[in-house]
């Protein structure tokens, strides 16, 4: 399961744009339809306060709405915080 989740609903043109942008940029994400699963709906409400879709989420960090610039910045930030180089960790421990 990808670390990135995209909360959407049918009929949302911004959700379509968000999915297309993520696909075009080779992003691995989990598309979640808030109208099909109560658990997904609750998670979306808890994260975003239920303000709208799409919601791009990584842990508790999120972007509400769709903006290519904000998505790019968000995904770059996610890559910096989630990729761990074992050799770097070992070197830091020994230092």
- The pLDDT, as a whole number, for residue 37 is 96
Return d(Cα 62, Cα 42) in angstroms, integer.
15
Using pLDDT thresholds of 50, 70 and 90, give the confidence band for residue 1.
very low
Beta strands in 11-80 (DSSP E): 29-33, 55-58, 61-64
Least confident of 40-54, 59-73, 81-95: 81-95
pTM above 0.85, yes or no: no
- The pLDDT, as a whole number, for residue 23 is 93
pLDDT 10s digits, 15-62: 999 999 999 988 889 999 999 999 999 999 999 999 899 999 998 889
């Amino acid at each position: 399961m990808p670390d990135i989740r995209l909360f959407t609903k049918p009929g949302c043109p911004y959700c379509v744009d968000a999915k297309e942008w993520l696909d075009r940029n080779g992003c691995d994400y989990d598309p979640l339809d808030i109208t099909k699963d109560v658990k997904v709906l609750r998670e979306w409400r808890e994260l975003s306060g239920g303000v709208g879709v799409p919601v791009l989420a990584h842990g508790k960090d999120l972007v509400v709405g769709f903006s290519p610039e904000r998505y790019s910045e968000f995904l770059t930030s996610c890559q910096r915080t989630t990729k761990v180089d074992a050799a770097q960790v070992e070197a830091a421990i020994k230092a």
